[in-house]
Amino acid sequence: MLVIESHHIHTRSRLIPGATSTILPGWLNLTRVCKRWRIEALACTSLWSRLTTIMHLNMMKEFLRRSQDAPLTIITDRYLVRADLAERLRFCFSSAILDRTKDLCVSFGALDSQPQTYLRILSRPMPCLEKFVYRQNTLPENPLPGEPLQESAGLPSNLFAGSAPRLRQFTIEGAFNLPCFPHLFEHLQLFRLTSASGNRSFAPPSFSKLF
């Protein structure tokens, strides 16, 4: 219990000195307090269930191994993007990961040079998903040539193949548009929508069409 309580308090990540591309969760310090705490931390699968693309791929694989069968939190982070981002994204968007994902946070600007490759993968059932956040406002510096930004950043019309039975929270930040997903919204407890800064043309659909 000590480890879990501390985990909720100390969650700030830090850089490894001399290796600016590697992120360590702040709670890893708990494993160095004493032998007992290390044993408890290594045995607590929920501590290892949060994967983010700012981690090295080997670290992500080790977290996945230690998480065992715990539900996963997946975050595509646009900060500290490195040359092997595509490899990290393929790992996070694999079926083995998504089948276990409980919380999914996707930033458009963190999907490398071919964002639609990864957005199309979301046209699959998500049996364990409870919370989905799409940060459409984190746009790449160079939009795809010849393609309107609003279209290249849009979610697939068949999001989650219409099947996410546990989905309770749905958030889109900086929206340019919003396809309607009535089957996904049936059991929502929270729906949050914010439009992109300066986008005066955005008109959210009526609630009758959304729900």
Write down the pTM of the prediction. 0.77
Nearest CA among 158, 202, 203 for reference residue 182: 158
User: Given pLDDT bands bounded at 50, 70 and 90, which one contains residue 43?
Assistant: confident
156 φ/ψ angles, rounded to the nearest 5 degrees: -65, 145
Angle at 172 between CA 115 and CA 164, to 5 degrees: 85
- pLDDT on residue 8: 38
| Section 20-45 average pLDDT | 71
User: How crowded is the C-beta side of 3, counted as CA atoms within 13 Å?
Assistant: 21
